[in-house]
Amino acid sequence: MVSGPSSLARLRWRRRFRSLLAILLLGGLALVAWAWLPAPAPAVPLHVIDGDSLTVRQDDAPVTIRLTGIDAVEYRQDCARGTTRWPCGREARTALEKLAGRGPLYCEVAAKDRYHRTLAACRTAPYPDGVNLGAEMVRQGWAVATSEAYMVEEAEAHAKRRGIWQGDFVRPENWRAMHERPSSALAPPDA
């Protein structure tokens, strides 16, 4: 008499079938989750020029942005701590590079300046809770406030001797006037 598969063989077959079914189900769920998750925001190619200016690519064209309400020390500018000179302008640029990261940035455009730069207040992601770049540059002491909006941040940086407030420095507008480069009338001053 021929008997059917043993009960042990049927039990093994059921376990394998259930395992295969579980793997297929998990794979299907993973595929559905992958399809529904939003794609990560593309990194905005940006280049930091100095402590208050950066260039971003928009529609395959470079756009130079100057942060509103602040004036950072210039890239070539040095500051003093006692008798020691230090490259505060380079440190300001590095600070903005760290704050901006790789983007994306969310900028509220205010206007264009006479050098055709876009004047804007920019924040990091996630918008609107990201870091306000202008406020943070002033708070860290790498820029002075040029509007009432950041006076509290400047007072805090000055009181805590952060950034350029560690010693003596020439205000950026005065430094630019003393180090004016011979160039065309439309070129930005030491941007």
Residue 70: pLDDT band (50, 70, 90) is very high
The per-residue pLDDT of the chain, averaged, comes to 84
Task: Output the pTM of the full model.
Answer: 0.71
Residue 45 has pLDDT above 80, yes or no: no
Mean pLDDT of 8-28: 76
Least confident of 14-18, 70-74, 139-143, 164-168: 14-18
Of residues 94 and 61, more confidently modeled: 94
Output the DSSP codes for 57-74.
EETTEEEEEEETTEEEPP
Residue 53 has pLDDT above 60, yes or no: yes
pLDDT tens sequence across 131-177: 999 999 999 999 999 999 999 999 999 999 999 999 999 999 999 99
Q: Same domain, yes or no, for 32 and 80?
A: no
As a whole number of angstroms, the distance between CA 74 and CA 49 comes to 10
Instruction: Give pLDDT, residue 57.
Output: 79
Structural domains of the chain, count: 2
Confirm whether 191 is domain-assigned: no
Q: Same domain, yes or no, for 11 and 88?
A: no
Confirm whether 10 is domain-assigned: yes
Confirm whether 109 is domain-assigned: yes
Output the DSSP codes for 11-38.
HHHHHHHHHHHHHHHHHHHHHHHHHHSP
Q: Same domain, yes or no, for 75 and 28?
A: no
Instruction: Give pLDDT, residue 90.
Output: 97
Q: Same domain, yes or no, for 153 and 59?
A: yes
Residue 76 has pLDDT above 90, yes or no: yes
Residue 42 has pLDDT above 50, yes or no: no
pLDDT tens sequence across 81-104: 989 999 999 999 999 999 998 778
Instruction: Give pLDDT, residue 39.
Output: 45
Q: Same domain, yes or no, for 18 and 88?
A: no
- The CATH number of residue 114's host domain is 2.40.50.90
Q: Same domain, yes or no, for 135 and 80?
A: yes
Q: Same domain, yes or no, for 72 and 166?
A: yes
Tell me the two tokens of residue 49: 């020029």
Q: Same domain, yes or no, for 157 and 112?
A: yes
Which residues constitute the domain of residue 24?
Answer: 1-37
As a whole number of angstroms, the distance between CA 74 and CA 87 comes to 10
Q: Same domain, yes or no, for 119 and 171?
A: yes
